[in-house]
Amino acid sequence: MFTSRMIGFPSMGRRSPFAEMERMAKQMDLLSRAIFGRPEMRPFAAKVFPAINLTEDNEKYYVRAELPGISADAINLEVTGRNLAISGERVIPSEGENARYHRREREAGRFSRMIGLPGDVDAESVAAKLVDGLLTISIAKAASARPRQIAVN
């Protein structure tokens, strides 16, 4: 009965000496999540339109961007050295004078962005396709930039 009363007490009872530290770390965690977890507080990763996802596998780099409402011929792609330049314009056609808008959230305008790729690429073999508003660019890595397997004797 002596021990059962003491276990609930913060600084008493048989606990590891780090319990106090763990409790403070957990509170700090909750606090930082409350401040930094909210969407408006997260730092923007991209400052230039369009936002891209750059991924790679052993052979190629893949760049994907969401470009709804833009046709393939309105996009300009250039590869120079390790830089990929994407530019173009989105045009939203006007819907006539009779249209009374309830909401207008989509935006139109020009965009232009230069993306630096992490390694050397083969500028001759770049393929791009635009399907359902998603642009996927696959760029082959230069032979020197591909990982090479080394056999261990």
Kindly identify the residues of this chain, within the stretch 25-44, that bind other proteins according to CB under 8 A. 39, 44
Q: How far is the CB of 114 from other proteins (least distance, A)?
A: 13
Taking CB under 8 A as the binding criterion, the range among 30-38, 75-83, 85-93, 140-148 that sits at the site for other proteins is 85-93
For residue 80, what is the enclosing H or E element? Answer: strand 75-80
Applying CB under 8 A, among 36, 118, 127, 129 the residue interacting with other proteins is 118
Query: Shortest Cβ distance from residue 100 to other proteins (Å)?
Result: 5
Q: Does 104 bind other proteins (CB under 8 A)?
A: yes
By CB under 8 A, tell whether 109 contacts other proteins.
yes
Which residues, at least 6 apart from 80, have a Cβ–Cβ distance to it below 8 Å? 123
Asked whether position 55 contacts other proteins by CB under 8 A, the answer is yes
- Cβ 31 to other proteins, closest distance in Å? 22
Residues 51 and 65 sit within 8 Å (Cβ to Cβ):
yes
Residues that bind other proteins in the complex, under the rule CB under 8 A: 39, 44-58, 61-62, 64, 66-71, 89-90, 92, 95-96, 98-112, 118, 130, 132-134, 136
